[in-house]
């Protein structure tokens, strides 16, 4: 697969909440970097993070309006949205959406890095109100 195809498949797995599919697309030394610059290293640790996050934000999805590719680097521009609930139950007051960008680095047909650029204050505010 081309880098763009790998990233499209990764986004499809995110939107399908397919954690096993996400892990299959990651390199063993995969690195996830959140919007605060905090990094998680290794396929196993990142897989666990996705499992936890997608359990809390049951309908999380990425909506990419633009896809930019330069060699092994793919950048997506769009929005992220979901419904935040610590217990995983969908609540009408838990919905949020935020503009976002993602940067992916592909190596050997797998995702070596996934970096998120987003204003996560909407979801943080919901989490604080539910605590």
HEC per residue, 32-62: EECCCCCEEECHHHHHHHHHHHHHHECCCEE
Q: Is the full-model pTM beyond 0.75? A: yes
Q: What structural domains does the chain harbor? A: 3-77+101-118 (3.10.450.50)
> Is 110's pLDDT higher than 70?
yes
pLDDT of residue 95: 82
pLDDT of residue 119: 80
- Over residues 45-56, the pLDDT tens digits come to 999 999 998 988
- Over residues 25-84, the pLDDT tens digits come to 999 999 999 999 999 999 999 999 999 989 888 789 999 999 999 999 999 999 999 887
pLDDT of residue 96: 81
Phi, psi of 112 (to 5 degrees): -90, -25
Q: Which residues of 57-75 are buried (b: 16+ CB within 10 A; e: fewer)?
A: beebebebeeeebeeeebb
- Bridge-based pairing of strands 39-41 and 61-70 is unpaired
Average pLDDT over residues 100-120: 95
- Over residues 75-108, the pLDDT tens digits come to 999 999 988 766 656 666 678 889 999 999 999 9
pLDDT of residue 130: 64
Report how far residue 37's alpha carbon sits from residue 40's, in angstroms, rounded to the nearest whole number.
Answer: 10
pLDDT of residue 29: 98
């Amino acid at each position: 697969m081309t880098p763009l195809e790998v990233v499209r498949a990764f986004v499809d797995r995110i939107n399908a909440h397919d954690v096993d599919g996400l892990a299959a697309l990651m390199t063993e030394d995969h690195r996830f970097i959140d919007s605060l610059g905090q990094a998680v290293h290794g396929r196993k640790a990142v897989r666990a993070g996705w499992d936890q996050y997608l359990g809390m934000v049951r309908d999380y999805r990425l909506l990419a309006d633009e896809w930019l590719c330069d060699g092994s680097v793919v950048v997506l521009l769009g929005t992220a949205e979901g419904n935040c609930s610590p217990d995983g139950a969908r609540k009408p007051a838990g919905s949020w959406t935020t503009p976002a960008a993602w940067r992916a680095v592909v190596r050997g047909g797998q995702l070596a890095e996934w970096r998120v650029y987003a204003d996560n204050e909407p979801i943080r505010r919901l989490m604080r109100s539910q605590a």
